[in-house]
Structure 1
Amino acid sequence: MSFQAYLDTIERNTGKTPADFRALAATRGLTSEGGITPGVKATEVTDWLKADFGLGHGHAMAIYALLKGMKKEGDA
């Protein structure tokens, strides 16, 4: 499954776009200046996504990778 397919599935299941997740993460203080806020661990982000949006671990990690800047929309 491509990275974009993960994002498409997440949007279909949650109604949230990558931009929505970026904005939500920023309001929670998880991101700053286009990346993960220093000191924020992947577990903190994935636990939030699992609890609030019902994402599985793989899909939560995809959003983490997006927020961290490791991946971007349209990546294979």
Structure 2
Amino acid sequence: MNKKSLKNESADETKPDFETAMADLEALVSKIESGDLSLEESLKEFENGVKLSRACQAALKDAEHRVKILSEDDEESDFDDSSV
């Protein structure tokens, strides 16, 4: 592995993992779409949904970054092997 480091997955224990955040977001959308909430409750749930959506986006961005780093490592090792 090169000198670039991957994020420590346990660094922020308060963030839900991607799958949990997506499940919570789907449940929240269903709850809002049911029409049983007051306007104030809907707004509060919408705010929670935005936070969950951002957590999902961050998790995907982090995963993409990790894949990129690992791919670069593979390319470097392939190059090193061919020069021997």
TM-score by length of 1: 0.34
- Larger fraction in strand: 1
- Larger fraction in helix: 2
